[in-house]
Amino acid sequence: AAGVIQSPRHLIKEKRETATLKCYPIPRHDTVYWYQQGPGQDPQFLISFYEKMQSDKGSIPDRFSAQQFSDYHSELNMSSLELGDSALYFCASSLRETLPGYGYTFGSGTRLTVV
């Protein structure tokens, strides 16, 4: 079965650079969620989109922005990168009409290292 695809798997950037992470949800899933997991931390919710509109917002820095496109894939854009942005970034997708948590699938994550 198709899973949530995240690219790239690994990314190394320098401070103050910009990074773009991509997430391709499971086919027919209309909702995408982004999470940030710092070293030794639990995943923290950043932002979610349903039908290309932002549906919920968590602890996402102002330097970060995200959007969901017409094909439902999503991109997380991070500017003015800081060392503290080094983390594992997870994307998850689901079908909104299903019960919360059902069919909720995480991608394998993108490991961002800022040097």
Partner 1 sequence: AQKVTQAQTEISVVEKEDVTLDCVYETRDTTYYLFWYKQPPSGELVFLIRRNSFDEQNEISGRYSWNFQKSTSSFNFTITASQVVDSAVYFCALSGGDTGGFKTIFGAGTRLFVKA
Does 106 bind partner 1 (CB under 8 A)? Our answer is yes
| Minimum CB distance to partner 1, residue 16 (Å) | 26
| Minimum CB distance to partner 1, residue 57 (Å) | 10
Does 105 bind partner 1 (CB under 8 A)? Our answer is yes
| Minimum CB distance to partner 1, residue 19 (Å) | 18
Strands (E), the chain: 5-7, 10-13, 19-24, 31-37, 44-50, 53-57, 64-68, 74-78, 87-94, 105-106, 110-114
Does 96 bind partner 1 (CB under 8 A)? Our answer is yes
Nearer to partner 1, 58 or 69 (CB): 58
Which residue, among 69, 72, 59, 92, has the nearest Cα to 27 in the 3D structure?
72
Nearer to partner 1, 80 or 98 (CB): 98
Which residue, among 51, 31, 114, has the nearest Cα to 79 in the 3D structure?
114
